[in-house]
């Protein structure tokens, strides 16, 4: 499956699943509260599949536009309700029950994130130890005294085991303080604390993909010989009969000293057929290798051939940290990860609103689809992590106090509770218009960012 098709399929699967989880929360709590459910829809617009079922003949449907969904409840404000069913109308049930129905959707997204992280940690998350590679002169990292081969043990008071974990905590600290404390172990096994001075640079450092370059570091990568250790079925390496054990000597007369150099060469030649000089079983031979062009999550296009390096087990074990827990131990780890990501997301959203964090962090469907395809291609653990992050984002977005979202509807119920009666139709209409305008603005930023990444 090519990357474009994989992205589309993964995106539709992810959005369909997460919307179903969200709407099922509304649906099941509405049923428990005695409210009649008229329709459960995944997607908006004209139904492409519809079935009625249950004692209330609820309509279950898939609609044409997959960017959301809804649960339609019996409500006097939307249509006339038969006298015998008035007690089952949403607007007639107690306000606490209405709030519970509205909050159930976002809460299910948080529960799903916990389950996704739980499964991810049970399966095992391959990660890379947070070892510093190159440190750029005169950079934030250099001024702090960070050195090549330093192993980051903790960020602030939080221990970290992988680069993924370190990045999350660094971003969290970045939004809270002007100095980020890193506890590191140097190559000579001594431990010390360095402080990254990030004052006034939060906006630049939080732009997508800018953290490492902004700090002036690159993750460490061990020197690996340019010897093929894995051929991925369906890749151009397999089609060109490249084999495990082949040593890449040169490509288009460019010497290839190590695997990193080979990766860099391949990525810089998307859609090009290159001439290889390889050594196979002690004999040198020439081969032609077409390089596939693959679109990345940020919209850039790189070359890929579908091959991996031959890595000595000792070197691999020293560099990789596999986070894997037993079924019982994985649950608290999943809850902690869900909490950490939720707090970080809320901080990022609030700082975007205040202008301290770049609006480039707002992603639209194009970018989400690209990430979906990329994460799916990386394996089940990475895809589960993607699903968890998007589920959390969906839950937090719907809790925002915007009238057209669940959080805004909760505000309406609270206003009715303290006022002693529902808000006027005019007040509700003005709120809806403000909410729609806000969402249009957000979607405008999202689509602009998507197009900027694609065409930059």
Q: Which residues does the annotation mark as catalytic?
A: 23
Cβ atoms 182, 146 nearer than 8 A: yes
Cβ atoms 127, 133 nearer than 8 A: no
**At what angle are helices 327-354 and 95-123 packed, to 10 degrees?**
120
Q: What is the DSSP string of 122-187?
A: HH-EEEE--BEEEE-TTSHHHHHT--TTPEEEEETTEE--SHHHHHHHHHHHHTT-SEEEEEEE-T
Give the CA dihedral 35, 40, 43, 45, nearest 10 degrees. Answer: -80
Q: What is the CA radius of gyration of the chain?
A: 26
Q: Is 354 exposed, middle or buried (0-12, 13-18, 19+ CB in 10 A)?
A: exposed
Distance between CA atoms of 326 and 183, rounded to whole angstroms? 28
Cβ atoms 71, 26 nearer than 8 A: yes
Nearest to 134 by CA among 251, 221, 54, 193: 221
Coil/strand/helix, residue 439: helix
Distance between CA atoms of 386 and 396, rounded to whole angstroms? 15
**Distance, C-alpha 270 to centroid of its chain:** 26
Give the CA dihedral 162, 395, 363, 6, nearest 10 degrees. Answer: 70
Cβ atoms within 10 Å, residue 416: 15
Distance between CA atoms of 427 and 430, rounded to whole angstroms? 5
Instruction: Compute the residue count for the chain.
Output: 456
Coil/strand/helix, residue 240: coil
State the DSSP code for 320.
Answer: E
Handedness of CA 7, 10, 14, 17 (dihedral sign): positive
Coil/strand/helix, residue 331: helix
Tokens of 181: 């404390």
């Amino acid at each position: 499956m090519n990357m474009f098709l994989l992205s589309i399929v993964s995106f539709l699967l992810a959005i369909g699943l997460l919307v179903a989880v969200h709407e099922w929360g509304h649906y099941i709590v509405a049923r428990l509260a005695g409210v009649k459910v008229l329709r459960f829809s995944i997607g908006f617009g004209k139904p492409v599949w519809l079935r009625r079922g249950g004692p209330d003949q609820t309509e279950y449907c898939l609609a044409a536009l997959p960017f959301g969904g809804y649960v339609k409840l019996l409500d006097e404000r939307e249509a006339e309700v038969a006298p015998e069913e008035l007690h089952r109308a949403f607007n007639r049930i107690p306000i606490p029950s209405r709030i519970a129905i509205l909050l159930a959707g976002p809460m299910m997204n948080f529960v799903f994130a916990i389950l996704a992280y739980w499964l991810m940690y049970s399966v095992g998350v391959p990660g890379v130890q947070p070892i510093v590679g190159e440190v750029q002169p005169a950079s934030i990292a250099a001024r702090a005294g960070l050195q090549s081969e330093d192993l980051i043990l903790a960020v602030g008071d939080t221990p970290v085991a992988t680069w993924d974990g370190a990045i999350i905590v660094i971003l969290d600290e970045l939004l809270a303080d002007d100095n980020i404390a890193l506890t590191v172990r140097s190559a000579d096994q001594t431990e010390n604390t360095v402080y990254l001075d990030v004052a006034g640079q939060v906006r630049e450092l939080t732009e997508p993909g800018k953290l490492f370059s902004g700090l002036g570091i690159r993750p460490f990568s061990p020197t690996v010989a340019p010897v093929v250790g894995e051929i991925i079925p369906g890749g151009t390496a397999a089609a060109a009969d490249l084999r495990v054990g082949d040593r890449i000597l040169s490509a288009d007369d460019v010497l290839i000293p190590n695997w990193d150099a080979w990766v860099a060469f391949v990525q810089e030649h998307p859609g090009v057929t290159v001439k290889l000089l390889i050594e196979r079983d002690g004999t040198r031979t020439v081969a032609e290798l077409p390089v596939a062009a693959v679109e990345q999550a940020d919209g850039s296009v790189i070359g890929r051939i579908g091959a991996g390096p031959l890595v000595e087990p000792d070197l691999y074990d020293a560099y990789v940290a596999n986070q894997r827990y037993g079924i019982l131990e994985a649950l608290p780890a999943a809850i902690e990860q869900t909490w950490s990501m939720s707090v970080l997301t809320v901080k990022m959203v609030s700082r975007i609103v205040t202008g301290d964090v770049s609006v480039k962090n707002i992603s639209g469907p194009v970018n989400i689809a690209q990430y979906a395809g990329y994460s799916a291609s990386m394996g089940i653990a990475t895809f589960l992590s993607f699903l968890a992050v998007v589920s959390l984002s969906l839950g937090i977005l719907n809790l925002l106090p915007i009238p057209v979202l669940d959080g805004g509807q909760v505000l309406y119920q609270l206003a009715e509770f303290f006022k002693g009666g529902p808000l006027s139709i005019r007040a509700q209409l003005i709120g809806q218009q403000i909410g729609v305008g806000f969402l249009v603005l957000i979607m405008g930023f999202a689509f602009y960012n998507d197009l900027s990444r694609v065409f930059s």
